[in-house]
Amino acid sequence: MYRCCNFASKEASSRASVQLVALEQHQLKAVHLLKGHTLGYHFGMDCRTTDELIAMAEHDRKVSDELAASGALYEGYDPRMAAVHEKNALRLRAIMAQIGWPTERLVGKRAADAAWLIAQHAIAHPEFQRSCLKLLAAAAHEHLVPAWQPAMLEDRIRVFEGRPQLYGTQLEPDAHGNMRPHTIEDPDGVDERRRAVSLEPLAEILARAKPQPLPADRKRFEHDYHEWLIAVGWRTRPQSWSKGPA
């Protein structure tokens, strides 16, 4: 996908703000439990939550595939995709308020991976994604989730914030549609960092990356993307920023 999920690209596969008070309270409890190797509030798998998370991620992929097939995915953040991400983010927040981060131990591997995908796509909610990153990083430290999950989410957050990414997981097309990484901090050390979180060398990923269609009006696309970043709170508007494409 283009521009971080149009607005959300991913290496392997807006507007309502999220209320984070309850989440922050449970986040503190979850981190405390992580330190004691007992993340979660109950033992055994919650089958309803498992099925729900898997279904949410599958619906995300289905809508994404439909938009890609029609070409709409590459023209901007389609309202249908935004609605899926919004609904999924709100539901994941509610699940996290009940059980903390949905690890494999709590919901099974497929559902745990689905939870990560949903968090990765909750792009209209900066504070929620940052909260997810804190929980994922703590869980990865305790070997409860793969280290690449917080790594990829951190890269996504950095790109949206306008900062260089660490692991080179966020890609964008060049003028010819060929995929390239967004700016990387210390690019000479990127493969060492990737190896530390079980990601393949960046060159291997780029060699397999397929070209992507470019938007019909790239200038307008770029303008809309930056307006969206400001509207949802990833960035603030520079004093000299134009409100319309040149």
Residues contacting 57, CB < 8 A, separation 6+: 88, 113, 114, 117, 118
Report the share of the chain in percent with pLDDT over 90: 77
Collapsed DSSP state (helix, strand, coil) of residue 180: strand
Tell me what the mean pLDDT of segment 91-112 comes to. 97
Strand-strand pairing, 171-173 and 179-181: antiparallel
Any domain includes 195? yes
* 245 within some domain: no
Q: Distance from first CA to last CA of the chain, Å, rounded?
A: 25
Flag whether 244 is in a domain. no
Whether the per-residue pLDDT at 178 is higher than 70: the answer is yes
| 38-42, 62-66, 132-136, 142-146: the lowest-pLDDT one | 38-42
CB 179 within 8 A of CB 171: yes
CA distances from 13 to 64, 117, 118 (A): 10, 9, 12
> Using CA atoms, how far apart are residues 153 and 189, in angstroms rounded to an integer?
19
Task: Classify residue 48: in a domain, yes or no.
Answer: yes
Give a yes or no: residue 242 inside a domain. no
**Which 3 state secondary structure label does DSSP give 66?**
helix
Nearest to 196 by CA among 154, 234, 160: 154
The length of the chain is 246
Report the candidate in 96, 83, 75 with the shortest Cα–Cα distance to residue 19: 96
**Domain limits for position 47:** 3-232
25: pLDDT strictly greater than 90:
no
Q: What is the number of domains present in the chain?
A: 1
The predicted structure's pLDDT at residue 238: 82
pLDDT at position 192 is 99
Decide if 84 is inside a domain: yes
Q: Among residues 162, 143, 161, 151, which one has the least CA distance to residue 193? A: 151
The reply to whether 243 falls in a domain is no
Q: Give yes or no for a contact between 156 and 120, defined as CB atoms under 8 angstroms apart.
A: yes
List the one residue out of 8, 2, 6 whose CA is nearest residue 156: 8
Q: Report the predicted TM-score, pTM, of the whole model to 2 decimal places.
A: 0.81
**Residue 44 included in any domain:** yes
Residue 234 has pLDDT above 90, yes or no: yes
Distance of alpha carbon 125 from alpha carbon 129, whole angstroms: 6
DSSP 3-state of 172? strand
Helix (H) or strand (E) holding 171: strand 171-173
